[in-house]
């Protein structure tokens, strides 16, 4: 029989009921306002959200769209990325980063990542660009930098490489809105910065949503047209092929309510990350920080020495009611959908090794101090047990 005193409630990885309770009336009031005016598509909350998001990071323009994936798709469509074009992106990221490249008929070229920060490696990027140039069958066009897990990609180094080869930069900031690089909020490091409001992202809605930030008003106008079937000045003037990529008014309303609490949530995430760093030092490898940056802490991932240590820690945590997750078990170039678009003789050793050793611990503002302690205690007791074995 299990003893209730020694089997505490499992900790939640993403506690949306608790989040709703914390946000309280603000959410309800925003949703009720939309239900009252009934402008469910492109209602006034959409533009209000765009203005707030642009102001938040100092970008000139924001275009709200239906998801982080559609934000990337539209940003690439605007640059007329298509067949014959090479788009460089990290192999260690979520599938959406690469998916849009293939949807447009272009070729993804996978780049390796840094072994400690997990961010795209500028050295690997150089090597991959040079090999595409040497092979001469694709035209290098664009680099998608991903701000993985909430930390910024090394934007200054990426910009140097991109400038040297005349490539465009796009920032896939789906996991990192609210983060900063060299004392500047993310949102202005590339020609376009794409956001996701999927519920588990730092600024998460209650459904799908996304946005594109840019300082270029011509690009913003193009994104707006592409978001609505390529429309011109009137609804029935079709200037180009676009998509239905609008953000629902109800999601905009929810995000407006959530924005008011966003900075406090980011502070809480940072507090939790620092508590983990201190409690886990010497037992596992805590995530190394990108220099001169601030993380939005979408994900807090530690590294273990090998797959068997990672699997045994994950099992031990599960027993203690502590959930964990693996982002990402396999790099994209090893996934069935992408393998045929990658030259298998090209190894990306860091991306290929991380999946076996990485583990994400609970990270959400809803965690109490007691829960954070429980996570740390569980890792400590696992480490003690490993030492004995």
Buried b (16+ CB within 10 A) or exposed e, 360-374: bbbbbbbbeeebbeb
| Sole residue written with tokens 């429309």 | 231
Determine the 3-state secondary structure of 234 from DSSP: coil
Token pair 């402008």 is found at 39
How far, rounded to the nearest angstrom, does the alpha carbon of residue 291 sit from its chain's CA centroid? 19
**In angstroms, what is the minimal distance from the CB of 90 to ligand PLP?**
9
CB of 200 to ligand PLP, least distance (A): 8
When binding is defined by CB under 6 A, the residue of 67, 151, 295, 364 that contacts ligand PLP is 67
- Report the residue number, 43 or 90, with the smaller CB distance to ligand PLP: 90
Candidates 46, 59, 68, 338; binder of ligand PLP (CB under 6 A) is 68
Instruction: Report yes or no: 125 and 102 within 8 Å, Cβ to Cβ.
Output: no
Q: Indicate which single residue of 45, 112, 189, 208 sits in contact with ligand PLP (rule: CB under 6 A).
A: 208
- Binding segment for ligand PLP (CB under 6 A), chosen from 74-82, 91-99, 179-187, 274-282, is 91-99
Q: Which of the ranges 14-22, 170-178, 235-243, 289-297 carries the binding residues for ligand PLP, by CB under 6 A?
A: 170-178
Q: Does 210 bind ligand PLP (CB under 6 A)?
A: yes
Q: How far is the CB of 233 from ligand PLP (least distance, A)?
A: 29
Residue 301 is a binding residue for ligand PLP (CB under 6 A): no
CA distance 186 to 206: 23
Shortest distance (Å) from residue 175 CB to ligand PLP:
5
Among 117, 151, 196, 214, binds ligand PLP (CB under 6 A): 196
Helix (H, G, I), strand (E, B) or coil at 104: coil
Measured from each CB, the residue nearest to ligand PLP is 68
86 strand-pairing partners: 107, 140
DSSP one-letter string for 24-87: THHHHHHHHHHHHH---BS-HHHHHHHHHHHHHHT-SEEEEES-HHHHHHHHHHHTT--TTEEE
Ranges within 322-361 binding ligand PLP (CB under 6 A): none
Sites of contact with ligand PLP (CB under 6 A): 67-69, 93-94, 96-97, 146, 172, 174-175, 196, 198, 208, 210
């Amino acid at each position: 029989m299990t003893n209730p005193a020694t089997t505490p409630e499992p900790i939640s990885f993403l506690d949306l009921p608790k989040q709703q309770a914390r946000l309280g009336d603000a959410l309800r009031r925003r949703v009720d306002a939309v239900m009252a005016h009934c402008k469910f598509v492109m209602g006034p909350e959409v533009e209000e959200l765009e203005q707030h998001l642009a102001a938040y990071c100092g970008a000139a323009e924001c275009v709200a769209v239906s998801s982080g994936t559609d934000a990337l798709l539209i940003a690439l469509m605007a640059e007329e990325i298509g067949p014959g074009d090479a788009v460089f992106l990290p192999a260690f990221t979520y599938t959406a980063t690469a998916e849009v490249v293939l949807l447009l008929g272009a070729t993804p070229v996978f780049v390796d990542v840094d072994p400690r920060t997990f961010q795209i490696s500028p050295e690997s990027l150089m090597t991959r660009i040079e090999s595409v140039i040497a092979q001469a069958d694709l035209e290098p066009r664009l680099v998608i930098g991903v701000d993985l897990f909430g930390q910024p990609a090394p934007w200054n180094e990426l910009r140097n490489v991109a400038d040297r080869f005349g490539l465009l930069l796009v920032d896939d900031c789906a996991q990192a809105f609210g983060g900063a690089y060299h004392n500047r909020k993310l949102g202005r490091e590339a020609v376009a910065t794409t956001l996701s409001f999927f519920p588990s992202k730092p600024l998460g809605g209650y459904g799908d949503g996304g946005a594109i930030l840019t300082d270029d008003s011509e690009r913003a106008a193009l994104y707006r047209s592409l978001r609505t079937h390529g429309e011109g000045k009137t609804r029935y003037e079709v200037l180009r092929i676009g998509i239905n990529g609008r953000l629902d008014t109800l999601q905009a309303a929810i995000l407006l309510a959530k924005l008011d609490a966003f900075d406090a949530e980011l502070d809480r995430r940072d507090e939790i990350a620092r508590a983990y760093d201190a409690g886990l030092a010497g037992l596992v490898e805590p995530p190394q920080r990108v220099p001169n940056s601030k993380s939005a802490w979408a994900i807090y991932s530690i590294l273990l020495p090998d797959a068997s240590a990672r699997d045994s820690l994950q099992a031990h945590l599960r027993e203690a009611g502590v959930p964990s997750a693996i982002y990402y078990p396999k790099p994209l170039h090893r996934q069935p959908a992408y393998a045929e678009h990658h030259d298998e003789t090209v190894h990306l050793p860091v991306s290929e090794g991380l999946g076996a050793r990485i583990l994400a611990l609970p990270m959400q503002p809803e965690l109490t101090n007691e829960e954070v302690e429980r996570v740390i205690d569980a890792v400590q007791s696992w480490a003690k047990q490993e030492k004995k074995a």
